[in-house]
Structure 1
C-alpha cells in the first residue's frame, strides 16, 4: 500500500517538520502566538506555491473520488494570514511536479498536515493566548478530518500501482523539502 510506503519513507521529513515548528511546545502549552504565526506563514507559502500545481496535474478521475473541491485550502489559510497580519514573503525555491503521481505524493503531505493540524487546533484552542485565533486552515475539515484522511488514503492505495511508488514518494519529498527550506 502506497500510504504505508509514504509514511515509512517520509518519516524523517515529518520529524524534521515537527522540530522546525516546535511541535512539542503545543502539548506542553508553551507554544506562542509567534510560533503559530511561523507555522501558518510556512504552510501558506507551501500552499501558495503548490496547490494549483498539484490540482492541475490530477486527472478528472480524482475529482470525484477525492472530493477535490473540498480539499482546496489556500483560501482558508489566506484568512489566517490576514487575521494574523502576516506579510507575504517571496521564495526563491521553485516547485513543480512532473506528473500525476508526484502530485499525489505532494497531496499526501498537505492532507497529512491537515490531519495533524486538526490536533494542533484542538490543543491550541485550550492554550492561553489563542482564544481569539480562528483556525481556518487547521480546522478546515472540522469533524470530517478523520473520514477525509481515510478517503484520501483509500483512493491513493487503490489507484497507485507499485511501480509508481517512487514517483509518488518523489512528489512527497519535493513538497516536504520546500516546506522545510522556505523559511
Structure 2
C-alpha cells in the first residue's frame, strides 16, 4: 500500500519537521505563542505556495473521491494568521508538480499535518495561554478528522499503482522540503 510506503520513506522528513517546530514542547506544555506562530506561518507558506497547484493537478475523479472542496485549508490558516496578527504574504516558491501522482504525495503531507494538527490542537487547548485560541487550521475537520484521513488513505491505496509509488514519494518529499525551508 502506498500510504505505508510513504510513511516509511518520509519518516526522516516527518521527524525533521517535528524537530523544527519544537513538537516535544507541545506535549510537555512548554510550547509558547512564538512556537505557535512559527508552526502556523510555516504551514501557511507551504499551503500558499502549493495548495492551489496540487488541487489543479488532480483529476475530477480525485476531486470527487477525496471531496477536495472540503479539504481546502488555506482560507482556514489565513484566519489563524489574522488572529495571530501575522501578515498574509504572496507565493514565492511555488512547487513544481510533474504529474497527478506527485500531487497526491503532496496531499499526503498536508492531510498528515491535519491529522497531527488535531492532536496538537487538543494538547494546546490544555496548555496555559492557549485556552481561548480557535484552531482553524489544526482543528479543520473537528470530529471528522479520523474519517477524512481514512478516506484519503483508502483512495490513495486503491488508486495508486505500485509502479507509481516513487512518483507519489517524490511529491511528498518536495512538499516536506518546501515546508522545512521556511524559518
TM-score, normalisation: structure 1: 0.97
- How well do the aligned residues superpose, as a CA RMSD in angstroms? 1.1
Q: 1:93: how far off?
A: 3.5
Deviation per residue, 1:115-138 (Å, 9 max, x gap): 000000000001000122110000
Determine the C-alpha separation between the residues in 2 that align with 1:62 and 1:14. Answer: 25
Counterpart position of 2:58:
58
Contact 2:49 2:93 in 1 (8 A): no
Determine the C-alpha separation between the residues in 1 that align with 2:71 and 2:91. Answer: 24
For these two proteins, the number of residue pairs brought into alignment is 183
Counterpart position of 2:119:
119
Determine the C-alpha separation between the residues in 1 that align with 2:133 and 2:153. Answer: 30
Q: 1:90: how far off?
A: 6.0
Counterpart position of 2:144:
144
Q: 1:91: how far off?
A: 6.6
- Structure 1 consecutive aligned stretches of length 4 or more whose deviation exceeds 2 Å: 87-94
TM-score, normalisation: structure 2: 0.97
Query: Which ranges of structure 1 fall in alignment gaps of 5 or more residues?
Result: none
Query: Which ranges of structure 2 fall in alignment gaps of 5 or more residues?
Result: none
Deviation per residue, 1:28-48 (Å, 9 max, x gap): 000001100000000000000
Deviation per residue, 1:127-156 (Å, 9 max, x gap): 000122110000000000001001000000
**Which has the larger displacement, 131-140 or 81-90?**
81-90
Determine the C-alpha separation between the residues in 2 that align with 1:163 and 1:125. Answer: 43
